[in-house]
Amino acid sequence: MVWDHVIKNGYIYSGTDFVKGNLYIKDGKIAAISENELEGETLKTTDANEQYVLPGFIDTHIHSRDPGATYKEDFYYSTQAAAAGGITSVFEMPNTNPPINNVENLQKQVGNLSPKAHVDFGIWGICLGDLNMKDLLPLHEAGVIGFKFFWGYAINSKTFQLMYNYKDGEEEVIPPLPDGEVYDIFQEVAKTGQTLAIHAENNELIQRLTKKVEESGRRDYEALLQCRPNLAEKLTIQTGIAMAKKTGTRLHILHISSEEGVQAVRQAQKEGYPITGETCPHFLFLSNEDYETVGPQMKVYPPVKYKKDQEELWQGIQDGTISIVCSDHAPHTEEEKDGDLWSIPAGMCGVETLAPLLLNAVSEGKITLNRACELLSENPAKQFGVYPQKGSLAVGTDADITIVDMNKEMVIKRENLHSKSKVTAFDQFPVKGVPTATIVRGITVMEEGQIVSKPIGQIIKSGKVD
C-alpha cells in the first residue's frame, strides 16, 4: 500500500473522545485510523507531535462580496483566510450581486467561485418572496446548501439587492415583505426539507425606535442598542417559530445575540420542534462594555448587546440550545468603518479568527474540545445534510482535517489576517489554541499559518437531512 499522507502521533477525535494514533489518507479520503503503525510506503508524513487531529471545521455563514463589492473582499481572499484559520469548508451567503435567486445565478456563482476557492464551499439560496417563490424548489434540486430569508429588509425592485436601512417612501423599492408572503416562503421551503435560516430583527420596531433616537440627537452605542433592542430579535424569532410549527419548516435562527433569543429557541426545542440556532464570536466575547476600547469596528447587525446576553449565549452553547458557532464574516474597508457609528456599515472580518477564538474558550474552560468539534464540525455537517462526508473522521469520508495545537499561543493582529480588508474587533486579542494545519480532501492547504496550496476547493451540495 502507498499512503498519500500519514498524520502520526496525534490525538484523533473519535466522535466521543480522543485516541492517540495515526491517520492514513489515500485518494482524498480517510483510509485508516490506527493506534499502531500500518505497513506501506508514505508519500507525505506529518508528525502531529501530540497535537489534536480534528474533523475539518466548517463556517456556515460568510459574506465574500463576490460578485459585488469585491473591493472589500472576494472569494479568493475569504477562503484563503478560512484555510489560514483552520476552516476546511465555508457556506457562502446569497446576497451577492446578482443574488442567488434562481438556478441560472446559482450555476454562474459556482463557475465564479470554483477557481478562487482554497476550501470546499456550499452556496445558500435567497428567499425574496413572490419575486422568486417559483425558483425555490429548482434551487433545492440544483443543490443549494440551504435557504436564507433576510426578514425585515427591503428589496431594490430593479437589482433585487437588499436594502439594510430602508426608509418609507424610497423609490424603486419593494418594502419589507408582509407576514402572509413570509408564510408562503415557509411553506415552500418546507417542501424541500432543507433549512430555512432567518436574519431575525423586527424592522417596524427598529424604524420607529430609530426615528425617536435620531430626533434626540444621540449618537452613542447605547442609543444604537435602544434602536435595535432585544425585543426586535425576540419578536421575529417568535413569529418565525410560530410559522415553522404550523408549516413543519426546519427553521434556523441566524446570529442569535440576545438572552430572549436563546430562551425562545430553547422552549421550541423542548416542545419537539426542529428549531436550531447559531451565534458568533463577537456575541460571545464582546459586550456593550467593550465599545469604548474597540470602537466602531464592532458594529454588526444585530448589534453586540449586554453581559447578561453574553452569559445566556454561553449557557445555550453548554446545554445544546445553540448548535453552531459561525463567523458571519462580512468585511468592509477601513475607510468605510472609520466614521460616525450611525453612518458606517455593519460587519467585520471573522472567518480566520473563528476557530482560534473558540479554541481559546476551550483553554479557558468555557467549553470542552469535544463541544468545539460539535459546534464547528459535526453539527454544521448534520444540519445541512453533508454528514459524515464532512464533519467527521470516519474511514471512507473526505479527508477534511484541522490539526490543532492547544498549547500554542498567539495574538490576533489585523495586519496578519489574510482577508482583503482586515477590520476586526479582535485586534491584539490573545488566544491559546491555534490551528496548525488545514487539510481539504487530503490536500494540505495551510501549514503553520502559511497558505501552501493553490485554490483546490469544490462545491458542496446539500444531501438528505435526518
Q: What grid cell was written down for 341?
A: 457609528
**CB 383, CB 324: distance < 8 Å:** yes
Residue with cell 447605547: 222
DSSP-derived letter for residue 378 is I
Cis omega before residue 302 (within 30°)?
A: yes
Specify the pLDDT at position 161.
86
The alpha carbon of residue 361 and the mean position of all alpha carbons in its chain are separated, in whole angstroms, by 18
- Identified catalytic residue from 59, 66, 135, 328: 328
Q: pTM for this one? A: 0.97
Cα–Cα distance list, 61 to 26, 145, 369 (Å): 30, 11, 21
Specify the pLDDT at position 189.
98
What angle in degrees, to the nearest 10, is found between the helix axes of 259-270 and 307-319? 30
**CB 224, CB 206: distance < 8 Å:** no
The alpha carbon of residue 289 and the mean position of all alpha carbons in its chain are separated, in whole angstroms, by 25
Cα–Cα distance list, 135 to 172, 175, 437 (Å): 22, 21, 40
Cα gap 351→79, rounded to integer Å: 8
Residue with cell 469604548: 292
Cα gap 70→190, rounded to integer Å: 33
Q: Residue 284 forms beta bridges with which residues?
A: none
β-pair type (429-440, 41-42)? unpaired
**What stretches in the chain show pLDDT beneath 50?**
none
The CATH class for the domain spanning 2-47 reads mainly beta
Specify the pLDDT at position 466.
59
Q: Where do the domains of the chain lie? A: 2-47, 56-386+407-430
Domain 56-386+407-430 falls in which CATH fold?
TIM Barrel (3.20.20)
Query: Could you report the per-residue pLDDT of 345-391, keeping only the tens digit for each?
Result: 999 999 999 999 999 999 999 999 999 999 999 999 999 999 999 99
Is 328 in the active site?
Answer: yes
The residues near 388 (Cβ < 8 Å, ≥ 6 apart) are 381, 394, 397
Cα–Cα distance list, 401 to 54, 56, 327, 392 (Å): 6, 4, 19, 9
**CB 277, CB 323: distance < 8 Å:** yes
Specify the pLDDT at position 465.
64
Radius of gyration of the chain (CA): 21
Q: What grid cell was written down for 427?
A: 485586534
In this structure, the number of other CB atoms found within 10 A of the CB of residue 230 comes to: 18
Alpha carbon distance, N-terminus to C-terminus of the chain:
36
**CB 370, CB 386: distance < 8 Å:** no
The residues near 265 (Cβ < 8 Å, ≥ 6 apart) are 237, 241, 253, 256, 275, 276, 277, 316, 321, 322
